[in-house]
Structure 1
């Protein structure tokens, strides 16, 4: 299942991906992000987030949490310690305010 925002809304700011093949194809201007944690028993969800959203204060705060938890030298995809529902809600709010 691929989750995408409707085209008639504000331009898409993120995409939820489920397949490894889809996740390896990152379009220009997007950053792959894994949200959630196996520690909490929650399934991880994968997103492509537009780079413009990374400078938003609430996203910057999530990135700081990720740096505290995983460190700056963490290899691989960017991981954010947040539940997927809250992450999606935050991105939606930012997108609608623009």
Structure 2
């Protein structure tokens, strides 16, 4: 059985092939597949984030949209990617 420390460390990292973004006023954490990076709509969202927050967001990717909009986007991308 893994040690608790190992479990805690795994929760901070996204699984292989995924990355973490933070969305909304509550900074909700989402783990998304790297395949989304190929989608033009997701790329535009990342560009908007860079324009709004810059590239230094305390080592976090913060996206400038609310949670419900992001969930609709990821639902669409999951069906069409």
- The interval holding the TM-score normalised by the smaller chain is 0.7 to 0.9
How many residues of Structure 1 are paired with residues of Structure 2 in the alignment? 74
Report how far residue 25 of structure 1 moved: 2.9
Following TM superposition, the consecutive aligned residue runs of length 4 or more in structure 1 with deviations greater than 3 angstroms are: 20-23
Residue in 1 that maps onto 2:3: none
Gaps in structure 1 of 5+ consecutive residues: 1-19, 38-42
Q: What TM-score, normalized by structure 1, do the two folds share? A: 0.66
TM-score, normalising length from structure 2?
0.78
Q: Relative to total residues, which structure has the larger helix share, 1 or 2?
A: 2
Match of 1:66 among 49, 68, 79: 49
| Deviation, structure 1 residue 88 | 0.8
Is 1:31 equivalent to 2:19 in the alignment? yes
Larger Rg: 2
CA distance in 1, matches of 2:10, 2:68: 21
Helix, strand or coil for the counterpart of 1:32? strand
Query: CA-atom RMSD, angstroms?
Result: 1.9
Larger strand proportion, structure 1 or 2?
A: 1
